[in-house]
Chain A
Amino acid sequence: MSRPAIAGRAGGAAAVENRGMWKRFFHTCRVARIPMLTLLIYIVLDVITSNLLVKIPQVNANFFAGDTSVGSVAAFIGAELASVFLGQIMLYAGHVFRYQTNRNLRNVLWEKILRVKPSYYDRVTPTTLLSRITTDTESLNAFIMDVILGIAFSVYMLFLTLQEMSGISLKASFLLLGFVPLFLLINFVMGRLNLKFQNAARFRMADLTGYLSELMASLPLVKAFNRQNYESKRGRQVIDEYYASSRNLVALDFGRQMVSAVIGILPEIVIIIMGIRLLQDGTVDTAGWYTFYLYAGTLLTFVSGLGGQWESIKGIQGQMNRISEVLFQPEEGVEPYVNEIANSGDISFDDVSFAYGGETKALEHVSFTIPEKQTTALVGYSGAGKSTILKLLERVYDPDSGRILVGGTKLQDIGLDQWRRKIAYVPQNAPMISGTLRENLLYGIRREVSEDEIWTVLKEVRLDAFVRQDPDGLDRQVGAFGGHLSGGQRQKVSVARAILSKPEILILDEPTASLDPISAADVADAVAALRHTMTVIMIAHQPRVLRDTDHVVVLDRDHTATEGTGADLLETNAFYGELMGREAAVL
């Protein structure tokens, strides 16, 4: 079996899209409803605190240099407690800002996700969207607090510190300032190196995890094929490779730490040498020296902090990009349209072509008609474009070329909301959302529906007995994703909901595909009963369902369509013929 490529991915995954970062950031900020008042309070607090904190080294130095008077001790202890107190207040304000920002951005993002063109849902998985809402949203507060404000206040603190230092010795302060670019460079280089090592370790771990999780998911197969020994060896090989590369990283990192330690001591030496000079020529006393030393320390801390903030941008950037990617998506229903009121009449596909992402061909010059108030079946090979037709009807996508006409009007000229109002859609997976059965049956239905009407429809889909035997009846909980119901029951609820919404057009995507024959027959009967009351369009393959249709469209492997009545196609279309008379073909 192929050797796991442990080293392969690291480089590619590390590459983060860099361009346009600021543009994306500002766009996100503009729409994110940032809590400006909280931000303002935080900034004011930070300014006050910075101005107080900058005085503390003088108090400390005074005490350690030998002023042990009661006042000096009290000042020392007081300063320490005050800095803790102020620190906590800042922390509180900062976190309130972060949490409010998260909340607001989550709301904005959720609204956006609800409004984007549904074709977007085909491109990103729900899990991806979930992590965008729950975790990626937290990048904005990090960007504002850790990067923007972090740098701003580092610079401000630097300024305050220099101001105080210049009071001790202007010359020494300027001299030290001269070293700052050098320290900055050293910090930057060492920080990059450190990050590189960390990333390397992380990507290796990701590779190990990815590899094992795939094998783990295949475990039943491994057992069924009696390949435990083989997979045990394969896994061990990956584990050993991971170990070998981690060990090398540890050795390299030891070297990095040593170099970092040697370089890190240099600024200290510089400061001490300066101090010796200052003490020798009497510019400062002991307390003055230690104050200077503490300020120099503060200065260096903020300088190295600056380097760190640039590093943290990298991590945040990826998340910010994912957020703004969603925020930049086009919304649907915003294009101008010609007709407010949607026409009735036959729906016709006129020379329609469509390819996913402009590449994967789904339909090529397809023309057919869906007659009004009749039942039309879409049949054909898998991948021939049946689901695409439903998506074009739902206006999840627009055709690349050709026209879809409704009673002679172009579909694109009809208001999207008006059009969707006419349609009820029953997808293959029978989606449901936690809540009661009643809520799911009436999901999205805006008219008043009487109890009697619900029961009539339940009876039509043969779900009434099941609901009646439950003490909670219509108010029973269906569980997350309707998990407390079986697949057949969910599908019946889905069809019942569609009937209750009284659509002009009912679209069904293989409504009986995964059901046992009895449930399938119930659903098929319910759909058959709707014949000639509305336009029904469904993807179907069961002869039993197909018998009750007025019109059939066969999609061929070359993405073209043939249409006719069932009786006609039985004679003229090989695929349909085989489908209906399949018994003969098996065995």
Chain B
Amino acid sequence: MSMKGKRVEKKSREKGMDAGISWRTLLRFYTKVKIPWLMLLVVFLMSFAVKEAESALVPYSSAIMTGEIMGGNFLVGFLFMNLMYAFVEAFQGSFNEWTGQVVARNVRRSVWNKLIRLPMSALDKEDSQQLVSRVTQDTTGAYAALAALIQFWAVIYGVYTNWIKMYRVYKSVSLVMLSAIPLTIVISWACGKLQYSMERITNAGYAAVTGFFAERLPNLLHIKTCRMEDQEYQKGVQANADKYKADIRRLNRFIFQGPVGSLSQYINEIILLVVASAMVRAGAMKQPQLVNLYNYFLLFMGNAFMITAVWQVLKQSHGACATIARLNAIEDEKMDGPVAVSQEAPQDITFENVHYSYEPGKEILKGVNFTIPAGKCTAIVGENGCGKSTVIRLLERFADPDSGTIRLNGADMHTVNLAQWRDAVAYLYQGEQMVQGTIRENLLYGLDREVSDSEIEAAARKACAWDFIQSRDLGLDSVVSRFDSKLSGGEQQRLAVARAILRQPEYLIMDEATSGIDVVSEAEILGNLWESMQGKTVIMVSHDMRLIQKADHVIVLKDGVVEASGTYEEGLAASPLLRQLAAA
């Protein structure tokens, strides 16, 4: 538990960095993605067409407002322009959407490919479920930035073209209207800040309820058996009241956002209408011109508002892409290496002065030295949190030592071909070990040779798994997954054992691998497993002293260092901890 806790802390520390990622990293990321430039060009041109079509509708709207609808051409023109506009807009929208899908697909391919090849040490720092949203959600953000960039120019054009039309109607008032642009930008910026503070309040409100209930709901039975329902109800009421207070605080800001945001529009609209109507009264302008002016003004303002909106989108998608860009900049796990793993005979593994820490200042391994002899069964023993599982992680090369060396038959583990090493090893864990697929596919996972059904059956029988496989309707072809509630922890462990037997590895690493299996079956399964591992190297982590007694070699870890190593008897003589464990 404590180890996992540490990893989580490390994670959250690093998460904050993403917002501050450099534009260069971001640009480098875009150079690595295939972008459909021609499609983007079409989207770009169509965006301008939409603005033109929008503006071309104004005379018709004005005609309706002033009742100039009697002319024979009006209805035809109105119908044609509206359909034209609808077509241009729908076409631009759909084409934009399609382009976005193409970009997202390309980014997804490259992000997925990257994720799967990242070193485990980099993956540990991320929440695996959040990584999924990196692939599914953030990748849409990658296009949003490009689309916003295009939209930006279209919006500028929209401001320009509608302003020019205002200018043609009435020069001096349109010059005054230009002031709306900086005013709008400043106000929108201020509103952005307001928005940010509102989001913070919203998040704090949700955190209040979520934090409370997330801890209570898994503990409901505990609450009930301790008969604390009434007290916990009162606390829940308090949490809900806190959320309500946060909601109201947010509302008190939200209510001003709309009116304040539109302030520049109101000010300029009042100026425009007062001045223009005075002109009409004085006979210097005709009524239809006023209406036109007003309609162009609305489009002009609409586009001016979009300038900052587009900027917001650009910033958001920067945030969304920041994480993928950062992940993209991490180097792939290096799978090759000059030193080959011998297929003939297992080789000794030695740890030389190995240090490792999950977070700075808290070393879990403080310079360990030991040998895992080839062709024998080695048990790693110690109390919870002594670093046993860390040793396993280092062996799997899911992490690298902070200092010191791990050697395989004398060669630095770093120089060993990782693909060959992983092919030579089978791992058995305590937890979920299934991938989505059928039982057969899971048993053969990672095997490149042809395996007959009878061989599969034999392995499954050795793992005491054949009976429950048979009890499923589709037998070996039943689909299982790690979240499969019908597959108990013990059954997953049995399937993993069967898979290890089929794999015929040179090295077998077991971390509390049979904890979910009842003792009688466990004895049978382990007997079969070890028989198939005769002459191979077995490395085992367990609390079960009776298993440890059977090992050829014992390594006792205490407080991050090796207290003793040797045969079980030698260990007993040298290690107070092992004596204590044996007596317990």
Contact = CB atoms under 8 A, between A and B. Distances in A.
B98 A250 contact: yes
Contacts of B83: 261-262, 265
Interface in A114-151: 114-115, 118, 121, 126, 129-130, 133-134
A111 B233 contact: yes
Given A64-B291, A261-B90, A517-B581, A587 B228 contact: no
Interface string B175-192: 000000000000000000
B66 to A, nearest CB: 6
Given A232-B117, A517-B581, A487 B384 contact: yes
A133 B211 CA distance: 12
Nearest to A113: B220
Contact of B215 (A273, A381, A434, A443): A434
A88 interface: yes
B384 A516 contact: yes
Given A417-B227, A434-B215, A519-B384, A73 B273 contact: yes
B6 to A, nearest CB: 11
Interface stretch (B16-24, B128-136, B145-153): B128-136
Given A213-B132, A243-B101, A257-B94, A130 B220 contact: no
A357 interface: no
Given A517-B545, A575-B520, A134 B206 contact: yes
A106 B209 contact: yes
A219 B128 contact: yes
B97 interface: yes
B78 interface: yes
Contacts of B218: 126, 431, 481
A220 interface: yes
Interface stretch (B312-320, B322-330, B476-484): B476-484
Interface stretch (B29-37, B350-358, B419-427, B449-457): B419-427
A146 to B, nearest CB: 17
A261 B87 contact: yes
B371 interface: no
Interface stretch (B42-50, B241-249, B362-370, B561-569): B241-249
B229 A114 contact: yes
A215 interface: yes
B160 interface: no
Q: Is the interface of A mostly helix, strand, loop or mixed?
A: helix
A486 B104 CA distance: 44
A224 B224 CA distance: 42
B161 interface: no
Contacts of B109: 236, 239-240
Interface string A515-526: 111111100000
A58 to B, nearest CB: 14
A334 interface: no
A67 B180 CA distance: 27
Interface string A235-272: 11001101100110011011001100110110011001
Nearest to B139: A239
B274 interface: yes
Contacts of A383: 488
A516 B549 CA distance: 16
Chain A CB count within 10 A is highest, among B93, B224, B546, for: B224
Contacts of B427: 224
B345 interface: no
Given A68-B290, A209-B136, A582 B87 contact: no
Contacts of B232: 114
Contacts of B403: none
Interface in B421-466: 422-423, 425, 427, 432-438, 441, 445-446
Given A221-B435, A232-B117, A290-B65, A521 B584 contact: yes
Given A65-B66, A73-B277, A246-B101, A126 B217 contact: yes
Nearest to A128: B217
Interface in B248-263: 248, 251, 254-255, 258-259, 262
Interface stretch (A11-19, A39-47, A92-100, A308-316): A92-100
Interface string B270-301: 10011001001100000100110010000000
A192 interface: no
Contacts of A250: 94, 97-98, 101
A205 B136 contact: yes
A279 B516 contact: no
Contacts of B294: 64
A518 B383 contact: yes
A396 B221 CA distance: 9
A486 B384 contact: yes
Q: How large is the interface on A (under 10, 10 to 19, 20 to 34, 35 or more residues)?
A: 35 or more
Interface in B73-100: 75, 78-79, 82-83, 86-87, 90-91, 93-94, 97-98
Instruction: Give the interface centre of A99, A290, A486 by most chain B CB atoms within 10 Å.
Output: A99
Contacts of B251: 92, 95-96, 99
Nearest to B503: A225
A290 B64 CA distance: 7
Interface in B356-405: 382-385, 396, 398
B219 interface: yes
A579 B518 CA distance: 9
A155 interface: no
A483 B215 CA distance: 11
A236 B113 contact: yes
B240 A382 contact: no
Interface in B101-153: 101-102, 104-105, 108-109, 112-113, 115-117, 120, 123, 128-129, 131-133, 135-136
B42 to A, nearest CB: 14
Contact of B94 (A254, A434, A484, A544): A254
B5 interface: yes
B438 A2 contact: yes
A102 B217 CA distance: 19
Nearest to A226: B422
B45 to A, nearest CB: 17
B236 interface: yes
A501 to B, nearest CB: 8
Contacts of A268: 78, 82
B38 interface: no
Contact of A91 (B131, B255, B266, B516): B255
A24 B129 CA distance: 35
Contact of A269 (B75, B258, B550): B75
A217 B233 contact: no
A172 to B, nearest CB: 14
A481 to B, nearest CB: 6
Nearest to A487: B1
A214 B432 CA distance: 11
A114 B446 CA distance: 47
Given A2-B436, A225-B446, A240 B229 contact: no
Nearest to B114: A232
A258 B101 contact: no
Interchain residue pairs A-B with the least CB separation, the first 6: A444-B226, A225-B446, A261-B86, A286-B67, A521-B584, A254-B94
5 contacts: A126-B217, A211-B436, A216-B132, A444-B227, A518-B580
Interface of B: 1-2, 5, 64-67, 69-70, 75, 78-79, 82-83, 86-87, 90-91, 93-94, 97-98, 101-102, 104-105, 108-109, 112-113, 115-117, 120, 123, 128-129, 131-133, 135-136, 206, 209-211, 213-229, 232-233, 236-237, 240-241, 243-244, 247-248, 251, 254-255, 258-259, 262, 266, 269-270, 273-274, 277, 280-281, 287, 290-291, 294, 333, 335, 382-385, 396, 398, 418-419, 422-423, 425, 427, 432-438, 441, 445-446, 479, 481-483, 488, 490, 515-521, 523-524, 526-527, 530, 543, 545-547, 549-550, 580-581, 584
Given A213-B128, A220-B120, 17 more contacts: A76-B273, A80-B266, A103-B241, A110-B236, A216-B128, A219-B120, A219-B128, A227-B445, A228-B333, A247-B101, A257-B94, A272-B64, A431-B219, A516-B384, A518-B580, A579-B519, A585-B524
